[in-house]
Structure 1
Amino acid sequence: MRESIERRSFILALALVNVVFALVLKPFWGAIFWACAVAVIFFPLQEKLKSIFGEKPNRAALSTLMVALFIVVLPVLGIAYSFVQEGLSFYQKLDSGKVNPGEFFEEIRTAFPFINDLLAQFDITPADVRERLSSFAVTASRMFAEQALSIGQNTFAFIMSVALMLYLTFFLLRDGKQLLYVLMKALPLGDERERQLFQKFAEVTRATVKGNIVVAMVQGALGGLIFWLLDIPGPILWGVVMAFLSLIPAVGASLVWLPVSIYLFATGSWVAGSILVAYGAVVIGLADNVLRPLLVGRDTKLPDYLVLFSTLGGIALFGITGFVLGPLIAALFLVFWQLFMSEFNTTDVYEDDKPQR
């Protein structure tokens, strides 16, 4: 009896310590998660470098970290900086009246008269739409400017977060195998189950991060290029927006180039509008339809519809990190149920209902 009470008390204390420790680390969860993701992605390179450097794991880990820094971290920071600069410029134009969403709507309404009939069916007046568009644009751009200003004011905290991520990545690369062994020993799920779960975690994280980032960079670059060639204002801004939106499978980048092409048609730029539609549907769309299944769906072994819903749900719950966490949770969900069915449902519960031959 006493032993049972002591065991339960210890488990309760263990759970309490874990919760408190998780709260202590809460401000750094983003840095910890991305450190784990980068370490998982570049771990195969770390293993190859260890065979070259031999008994010098620190050099192998540092070399791998430098490769990750130049391939992933610095390009992402550069794109984010360009996005902020272009976004602030767009806000200034909007605030000064150089850009007026209400005028854009009027041009589209004039070019497509059926919009008036459509609005009338829902008892909406063009003035209401103009007012709401202008209000939304001002509110959204002001919010963006405030966030950008907040980032600028918290530059030190951001730099510290990146530094902590890189610092932790170094140790995860160097001591990854030992940490994994300790974690498997501590978890009471069974070594084989834990091995399958960690393997799926590595596969999905590597596939979603690599695949989505590659697709985002390709679609953003292609979108920015065509906007620049067609002399559409803010090609860098819209290219980065398309890169971020491309994290949403199937519809991402089209949320930018399709409305812009409609506006080009409305203003009489039929050639530019046709080029943008064809380029968006064929070239930008091809990058999504070909690269994403190859880089994400095949490696995660998740159906396309599950990737879409888990990505949208993950972004809604966790923010930008959700494009990895969503599919990861979905994959772990499937693995847990596969383990359950293989180990606990060994007999067919409907065996008596099978038709007799």
Structure 2
Amino acid sequence: MSDADMPHTEAVHRQHTALSVLYAALTVLAIWVVHEFVPAVLWAGVLSIALWPLFERIGRWPVLQSRPRLVAAVLVVLVAIVFVVPLVFGVANLSGEIHNFYGQMQSIERDGLPPPDWLAKLPFGSQQVTAWWRANLADPHSGGALLGRLPRGSLLMYGSHFGKQLVHALVTFGFMLMVMFFVFSAGPTLRVQLLRAARRAFGDDGASLATRMAISVRGTVSGLVLVGLGEGVLLGVAYFFTGVPHAVLLAALSAVAAMLPFCAPVIFILAALYLLAQGSTVAAIVLLVVGVVIVFVAEHFIRPMLIGGSSRLPFLLVLFGILGGFGTLGLLGLFVGPALMTILMVLWQDYAQRK
């Protein structure tokens, strides 16, 4: 290179550097402007990656071939139904329970609360507990005074906060469905563009890493959501046959708890304790045994196989990614955490194999 070309080369290098800085600044500015919608976009990305095989399968139907927008609409409607129907059912049950709760509070303040029959069936301390109940709750004056000490203002504040969070979650869910529709409408074109951009920016290794991250997210969704739903259904059947009240609602709570590792036992253990307090000892033991078997098989065999097997991650890293992601990013971290662990695993393997 001649001396005359040096200033021109330096000028071109400075222009490329300035252009990169400009791109980065504009990207940060754009993210800051739309940061309120970032959770919806991230959720849409996670679900789009997880549902992409289903999108391709539906797109091969003869009626829907070469109609990506119609396929996207069908899939988004299915997602909305899967999420909205249980939510409506849960809110309706919760509203009914709250109404009954306030009715019971008014009845206690007016007439007192007589001791329930199951107190006499307690294995020990039955007489003492019954005597305390009669002295503090069965008398209208004592029961009303005890209820009067409840922080009703705090309860109303928590209820208002819960309502605001529910509305915010529904708005985020609506934007997520919109983003999912546009992602699926773009179809394979968007996938090719993303892989091309990753290959151009980071080479073939970058494109391979992006693919492995997508596989990790898909496996995590399958391992958490599908296994959690399966646990909820099986535990719901156990609740129904052992006589636990509100079996469907408890099944839904168990499914949500089962999406977090080792959280489902909290629900069925409480249900077993309720049956034991009611005197149904055999039903309580059956529910406890069935619940332990379901959770043991799901947590130690099915879930590690789906999550770790899809991304080739050790189960310990999967567990760290799930729990750490949940603690840092909430529910979204359940799916982002294992993807980040995949990145670390790939980087470590590349560093260890590099000569």
**Structure 1: gaps of 5 or more residues:** 114-130, 347-357
The alpha-carbon deviation at position 223 of structure 1 amounts to 2.0
Say yes or no: does 1:330 pair with 2:338: no
| Aligned counterpart in structure 2 of residue 204 of structure 1, from 174, 194, 216 | 216
**Could you say if the C-alpha distance between residues 200 and 172 of structure 1 is closer, same or farther in structure 2, counting changes exceeding 3 Å?**
farther
| Aligned counterpart in structure 2 of residue 224 of structure 1, from 236, 243, 257 | 236
Say yes or no: does 1:85 pair with 2:97: no
Please give the residue correspondences for 1:1-357 in structure 2 after superposition, counting only pairs within 5 Å: 2-47=11-56, 57=66, 59-60=67-68, 62-63=70-71, 66-67=74-75, 69-70=77-78, 72-97=79-104, 111=123, 143=158, 145-146=159-160, 149-150=163-164, 157-158=171-172, 160-187=174-201, 189-190=202-203, 192-249=204-261, 251-343=262-354, 346=355
- Tell me the amino acid that sits aligned with residue 21 of structure 1: A
Provide the rounded CA distance (Å) in 1 between the counterparts of 2:197 and 2:188: 16
Q: Partner residue of 1:119?
A: none
**Could you say if the C-alpha distance between residues 135 and 170 of structure 1 is closer, same or farther in structure 2, counting changes exceeding 3 Å?**
farther
- Tell me the amino acid that sits aligned with residue 180 of structure 2: L
8 Å Cα contact 2:68-2:186 kept in structure 1: no
**Structure 2: gaps of 5 or more residues:** 1-9, 109-114, 126-145
Residue identity (%): 20
Provide the rounded CA distance (Å) in 1 between the counterparts of 2:245 and 2:103: 16
Provide the rounded CA distance (Å) in 1 between the counterparts of 2:280 and 2:156: 27
The alpha-carbon deviation at position 165 of structure 1 amounts to 2.7
Summarize deviations over 1:22-47 as a string: whole Å, max 9, x none.
Answer: 12332222332233233323434555
- Tell me the amino acid that sits aligned with residue 89 of structure 1: G
Structure number, greater radius of gyration:
2
**Could you say if the C-alpha distance between residues 258 and 228 of structure 1 is closer, same or farther in structure 2, counting changes exceeding 3 Å?**
same
Summarize deviations over 1:194-249 as a string: whole Å, max 9, x none.
Answer: 12211211211111112221111111112222223333233232212211111122
**Could you say if the C-alpha distance between residues 78 and 140 of structure 1 is closer, same or farther in structure 2, counting changes exceeding 3 Å?**
farther
Provide the rounded CA distance (Å) in 2 between the counterparts of 1:167 and 1:294: 31
- Tell me the amino acid that sits aligned with residue 13 of structure 1: L
Q: How large is the RMSD of aligned CA atoms in angstroms? A: 3.8
**Could you say if the C-alpha distance between residues 137 and 341 of structure 1 is closer, same or farther in structure 2, counting changes exceeding 3 Å?**
farther
The alpha-carbon deviation at position 266 of structure 1 amounts to 4.1
- Tell me the amino acid that sits aligned with residue 39 of structure 1: S
Provide the rounded CA distance (Å) in 2 between the counterparts of 1:210 and 1:341: 30
**Could you say if the C-alpha distance between residues 180 and 87 of structure 1 is closer, same or farther in structure 2, counting changes exceeding 3 Å?**
same
Summarize deviations over 1:96-131 as a string: whole Å, max 9, x none.
Answer: 557x9xx99x96xx6477xxxxxxxxxxxxxxxxx9
| TM-score (structure 1 length as normaliser) | 0.73
8 Å Cα contact 2:64-2:70 kept in structure 1: no
| TM-score (structure 2 length as normaliser) | 0.74
